[in-house]
Amino acid sequence: MLLAARSVGAAMNLFSTDMRDWLRASVCIALLSFALMTPAYIAPPMMHDSFWIDWVWADQFNMMVRQGTLYPRWLPLSHEGLGSPAFYFYPPGAFWLTAIFSLTGLTTYQTILAAFTFAFVMSGLTMYGWLRPRTSRPLLGALFYVAAPYHVCDFYLRGALAESCAFAVLPLVAVSLDRCMKGEGWLPLAFAYAALIYLHLPAALLTSLFFIAPTASHAAWQRRHTAPLRSMILGCLLGLGLAALYLVPALTLQRHIDVGKLWALPLYQPRYWNLFSPATLADPVHAPIFGTMLVLLGGASLALLRYRSSRNWSLYALVISLLVAGALPFLWTLPLVERIQFPWRAIMLIEFAVATALASATVPWVLGLLYVTPALFNASLFLSPIKSSDRPISGLRTYHPDVLEYLPRGTTTVVEIDEATEAVTRQRRHPLLVEIDGRSVSRRFYFPIWQAVCQGTPVPTSPDPQLKLVSWQGSGCKVVRTSTPQERIGGVISLFSLLPALTLARRFRRRRTDQSEAK
């Protein structure tokens, strides 16, 4: 035993101090992440809330990546084989992650759990990387960030895979902004910002408005010159260019789907979520949960205000908490902001700020753990929803039901699942191909990727007026899939954004090498 201990000690001495710190932090973060995920590992598959959507999308996305399609946009099995353009509009980043895990032989549900686990671990590591040069207790803040209530809620309560992955990128955005303020280049911000967009568009929008914009404004005012502001703007613009492959189709093809269903019900409108309103407080499920989160995080922020080293981040957390609670109702009616559905998505920013303030405060570990405890206690509230739900995987595998907003525009008149199910059932009973009076209708939902080829001549398609299936004028034709102009334009923009990014990265690497040799 003594010999083994000495061997381990000798091995550790081979590493630098930085390496040992990172290794210790990685082990602690991984252990906490696996502990938080353990109930899900041993429970029946969870199919409540967004979990069933994760499964339907990951099942097809993983399959198509294994078949060689690197960026699947059209899901052919959705809506009982009628198809869905889900990934023309939903960012693909989190599902690229499930696809990578699927290459190891994991089942679809296992790839989802693996992706969530990876997101937990990486969020802790990136937070540790953000805190380590700035505080004396970076691991404390990183562990808090991993186990923070909304972070855990995103998994156990909501099944929000993409948003959970966005937690891991937010600290990278913060590090990149800090580099811009120090004049060390804006290229990292471009990649971090693009990664956030590819993962979760609402998180990217909230981060832009409530984190990047205030940071840029503060930097310009504090430094009395516009260099940091210019760097941040250039970084974000290049990030938008890198994300154009996804953004251009997502923003320009919405007229072909029932995207309005995302906000049709009051529950999905940001103005509904105001904790100062009796109507919101009457909500029996969400108001108590998210109200409790804001109280816990707000209380921690108030307690940390007494420490000068953490005061700025504590104030920031309190301000965002008040905005999320609804202190400025008009804010959530502004253009773009009204599209984020739930103001409480911004709790991600609050938890980031509280974790930073906690790690920055001059408090002993024991007192610091008192602020981790509410997060862990609140996390326990989300272990109860573990259930198999009324959507068994066998049914998902057979029918691949999909979400209503990606149905063709006009398929249903109201946001009712029963009506949508009835419509899909009626359409899937349609014959594979019907030809009436020289016009053909195929049993496949319309989207502008479909083109009919009749005797070697391309023929434009259109949605059937009644069923919204693919139809065209002609008979004896073959339907083929093509790319849309929006896809091609987005791809060109991303390519031309990637080329200067790689050039800048090469210059940066050469400069760092020269600096190291000079030392």
**For position 478, what pLDDT does the model report?**
84
**Contact in structure between 236 and 385 (CB atoms under 8 Å):** no
Condensed to tens digits (0 to 9), the pLDDT of residues 303-333 reads: 888 888 888 899 999 999 999 988 888 888 8
Owning domain of residue 320: 265-363
Condensed to tens digits (0 to 9), the pLDDT of residues 186-202 reads: 889 999 999 999 999 99
Condensed to tens digits (0 to 9), the pLDDT of residues 343-369 reads: 989 999 999 999 999 888 876 655 565
Condensed to tens digits (0 to 9), the pLDDT of residues 156-185 reads: 888 999 999 999 999 999 999 998 888 777
Lowest mean pLDDT among 89-103, 135-149, 219-233: 219-233
> Is 509 a domain residue?
no
Lowest mean pLDDT among 93-97, 328-332, 423-427, 515-519: 515-519
Instruction: List all residues 6 or more positions away from 379 whose beta carbon is below 8 Å from its beta carbon.
Output: 36, 147, 149, 152, 153, 156
> Is 475 a domain residue?
yes
> Is 308 a domain residue?
yes
Condensed to tens digits (0 to 9), the pLDDT of residues 105-126 reads: 999 999 999 999 999 999 999 9
Condensed to tens digits (0 to 9), the pLDDT of residues 367-416 reads: 565 555 555 555 555 545 455 555 788 888 888 888 888 888 877 554 44
**For position 15, what pLDDT does the model report?**
47
The last residue of a domain, from among 363, 393, 428:
363
**For position 429, what pLDDT does the model report?**
58
> Is 30 a domain residue?
no
Better pLDDT: 92 or 292: 92
User: Does one domain contain both 359 and 284?
Assistant: yes
**For position 377, what pLDDT does the model report?**
53
Q: State the burial class of residue 462 (Cβ atoms within 10 Å of its Cβ: 0-12, 13-18, 19+).
A: middle
Is 443 strand, coil or helix? strand
Is 234 strand, coil or helix? helix
Mean pLDDT, all residues of the chain: 83
Whole-structure pTM value: 0.89
Condensed to tens digits (0 to 9), the pLDDT of residues 428-451 reads: 555 556 666 677 888 889 999 998
User: Does one domain contain both 352 and 417?
Assistant: no
User: Does one domain contain both 273 and 354?
Assistant: yes
> Is 453 a domain residue?
yes
**For position 12, what pLDDT does the model report?**
41
Lowest mean pLDDT among 11-25, 55-69, 458-472: 11-25
**For position 226, what pLDDT does the model report?**
73
Highest average pLDDT, of 38-47, 221-230, 366-375, 380-389, comes from: 38-47
Q: Percent of the chain, pLDDT > 90?
A: 41
Provide the number of structural domains found in the chain.
2
**DSSP letter, residue 75:** B
Condensed to tens digits (0 to 9), the pLDDT of residues 490-514 reads: 999 999 998 877 777 676 666 655 5
Average pLDDT over residues 18-29: 89
Lowest mean pLDDT among 40-49, 73-82, 380-389, 497-506: 380-389
Q: For residues 114 and 103, give the distance between their C-alpha atoms in angstroms, rounded to a whole number.
A: 12
> Is 164 a domain residue?
no
Strand order in the sheet with 450-454: 457-459, 450-454, 478-481
**For position 467, what pLDDT does the model report?**
79
Residue 417 has pLDDT above 80, yes or no: no
Compute CA distances 289 → 280, 318, 328, whole Å. 12, 18, 21
**For position 456, what pLDDT does the model report?**
80
Condensed to tens digits (0 to 9), the pLDDT of residues 146-159 reads: 988 889 888 988 89
Average pLDDT over residues 278-283: 68
User: Does one domain contain both 347 and 431?
Assistant: no
> Is 216 a domain residue?
no
Other beta carbons within 10 Å of 62: 24
Condensed to tens digits (0 to 9), the pLDDT of residues 242-261 reads: 999 999 999 999 999 988 87
Compute CA distances 138 → 118, 252, 358, whole Å. 20, 43, 9
**Confidence class for position 66, pLDDT limits 50, 70, 90:** very high
> Is 359 a domain residue?
yes
